[in-house]
Structure 1
Amino acid sequence: MTGTPDGGGAPSDRPAARVVCLDRDGRVLLMHWRDWVSGHDVWEPPGGGIDSGESPLAAARRELTEETGLPGSAVRDRHVLVARDFRWLGVRYVKKEPFYLALLDDSAPAVDPGELTDEEAAAYLGYGWFAPDELPDAVDPPGLAEVIKELT
Structure 2
Amino acid sequence: MMGSVHRPAVRVICFDADGRVLLMNWADPVSGGRLWEPPGGGIDPGETPLEAARRELAEETGLDPAAIGERFLEVQRDTVWKGTHFVGPEQFFTASFAGSRPPVVRAGLLPYEQSELLTHAWILPAELSALPDPLEPPSLPALLPEFRSWT
Say yes or no: TM over 0.5.
Answer: yes
Q: In the TM superposition, what is the alpha-carbon distance from 1:139 to its structure 2 partner?
A: 1.0
SS state at 1:67 partner: helix
- Which structure 1 segments of 5+ residues have no match? 1-6
2:107 alignment counterpart? 114
Determine whether 1:138 maps to 2:138.
no
Q: Which amino acid aligns with 1:97?
A: E
Q: Determine the C-alpha separation between the residues in 2 that align with 1:118 and 1:91.
A: 20
Q: Determine the C-alpha separation between the residues in 2 that align with 1:103 and 1:38.
A: 33
SS state at 2:4 partner: coil
Q: 2:59 aligns with which of 59, 66, 75?
A: 66
Q: In the TM superposition, what is the alpha-carbon distance from 1:119 to its structure 2 partner?
A: 2.1
Q: 1:127 aligns with which of 116, 120, 124?
A: 120
Q: TM-score, normalised by structure 2?
A: 0.92
Q: 2:8 aligns with which of 5, 15, 20?
A: 15
Determine whether 1:148 maps to 2:144.
yes
Q: Determine the C-alpha separation between the residues in 1 that align with 2:31 and 2:104.
A: 26
Q: In the TM superposition, what is the alpha-carbon distance from 1:118 to its structure 2 partner?
A: 2.1
Between structures 1 and 2, the one with greater helix share = 2
SS state at 1:127 partner: strand
Q: In the TM superposition, what is the alpha-carbon distance from 1:83 to its structure 2 partner?
A: 0.4
- Which structure 2 segments of 5+ residues have no match? none
Q: Determine the C-alpha separation between the residues in 1 that align with 2:112 and 2:127.
A: 29
1:104 alignment counterpart? 97
Q: Which amino acid aligns with 2:137?
A: P
Q: Which runs of 4+ in 1 moved over 2 A?
A: none
Q: Which amino acid aligns with 2:103?
A: A
Q: Determine the C-alpha separation between the residues in 2 that align with 1:113 and 1:70.
A: 10
Q: TM-score, normalised by structure 1?
A: 0.91
> Alignment identity in percent?
48
